[in-house]
Every structure is written in structure tokens, then in C-alpha cells.
Amino acid sequence: MSIIFKVLIFWYSLTSFFKRKILVKNIGKDDLVLDVGSGDKPFWRADVIVDKYLQDDQQRHSGAVVNDKRKIFIEGDVERLPFKDKVFDFVFCSHLLEHVENPDMAIAELVRVAKRGYIEVPYAIVDLLMPFPPHLWFCFYKKDTLIFHQKEKEKNILIHDTERFGKIFYNSSLVQYLFAKDYKSIFITLYWRNNLKYSVTRVKNPYRYIYKEELHEKTLFIKISFVLYKIFYFFITGLLYKKKKIDIDKLLLIKE
């Protein structure tokens, strides 16, 4: 039974990946596309890629970067993007906003520089059952509003118990299968145009995370998964991506 579950989990995870990362909607063939904060797995359709740490691998899952000379890579902060207003047709931002200090500032910048876009963050239930230390926010989506609730430094007894139970619950084959089959139960996948409704709730004693040196040590599995993604990335871009002639100076804000 566990083998069957593993096969199904792999299949649904693969189809989820394609729906969320490959078959992204609302992008025309000539659209100028920006990717912000994708780390070691940049969006294949992006023409310009922005990351806060192009050299430092502490916040990269594999500690590496896809070096695609057809794309423009810029070191920048999502809270202060170095671009003029509405210069991009589409912006892709996946699994970044739960990491930043000010998601409200980040969203305002995404909306400022692009006409439409896609945002993906994990639902709060994922961070409650199986917390990921670098995540600073619990994320919800209600009444067409993307909601961020800041994590507190001191966990209450309910959260402690939920996490202890969650490790057993979340790692079970059945739960992994159910989550993989219905990715929208664990990920908020949101398309927006012109504007985006959001809400940010802060706490008095917020949780902070400091990236540690040992994160530079990557497991063999992570290294292999990055190589496989890199092969896939260059296959799909070689097949479908059309390089554009981009004058980056026309996109960038003028430094005073």
C-alpha cells in the first residue's frame, strides 16, 4: 500500500508542479515577464529575474543558481524593486512573501512594476503542521483578500501541541497523498490584475529567523533534484522560450 501511495504522491506532485510552475496563465507570447525571488528554480518564462542573494546560497534550497545567459539577472529586494512603474506585463512571485519582513511593501512593489501577475504562498495549515523555520508569516486567503499574520516569538501551548502532532500527521503517506492530489488545499495560488487586496497583522513580539552557516551544506538528494530541475529548465526553455531584445536601462529607475 505504501508503494502505491508513493507512486500516486509522485504523480500528483508532478502534475501540481506543471500547473503551478509551467502552465501559468495570462501570459502572452510577447509579454515581458519578471520573476522575483525564485531562488534556485527560476520561472522558465521569465525574461528578467530578480533575487536578493544572487551569490549567497544560504536561502537557496540547493545552494546553486541556474545560469541562463538568455535572461537578465538583477540583485534586488522585492520591497524596493529597481524598476519603473508598469514596465512588465506579468510578474511571477512564488514562495517568497512568507519569508519577507514586510509583505505589504513587497506586494505594493509587485503591483507597481507589473500590470498583472501570479503569487503563491503556503496556507497557514502547512506551517502549523510542519513549520519551516525561515517562514515569518501565517498566510490565509479569505473574501478575495490575501492575509498575512505575523508569527510570534513565543509559541503558545496550542501551537506547540499542533506541531508535535503535525509531524506525525503531515508525514503519513495518506496525508501526503491527499495534499499532493489537491495542491490548492496547501498552497494559495493567486492571479491578479491591476491590483490586489491584502491584509497584514503584526504582533508585539515577532518571530525572527537568522540564516545559519550550516545551511550551506546540501544533501545529495537536494543536489540531484537541482540537477534534474536544471535539465528540465533548459529543455522547456529551449523548446518554448523566445529570447527578447531588452534595453534594461529603459526598465530601471534612474538613481538620484
Instruction: Give the residue carrying C-alpha cell 525561515.
Output: 134
Instruction: Using the predicted structure, report yes or no on whether residue 159 has a pLDDT greater than 60.
Output: yes
Domain ranges of the chain: 2-244
Q: What is the pLDDT of residues 226-245, one digit of tens each?
A: 888 889 999 999 999 999 99
C-beta atoms surrounding 96 within 10 Å:
23
pTM of the model: 0.90
Mean pLDDT of 75-88: 97
**Band of the pLDDT at 57, cuts 50, 70, 90?**
low
Instruction: Using the predicted structure, report yes or no on whether residue 164 has a pLDDT greater than 60.
Output: yes
- Would you state the pLDDT for residue 88? 98
Q: What nine digits make up the cell of 56? A: 549567497
What percent of the chain clears pLDDT 90, i.e. is strictly above it? 54
Mean pLDDT across the chain: 86
The hierarchical CATH code for the domain 2-244 is: 3.40.50
Q: What is the pLDDT of residues 90-118, one digit of tens each?
A: 999 999 999 999 999 999 999 999 999 99
Mean pLDDT of 145-153: 95
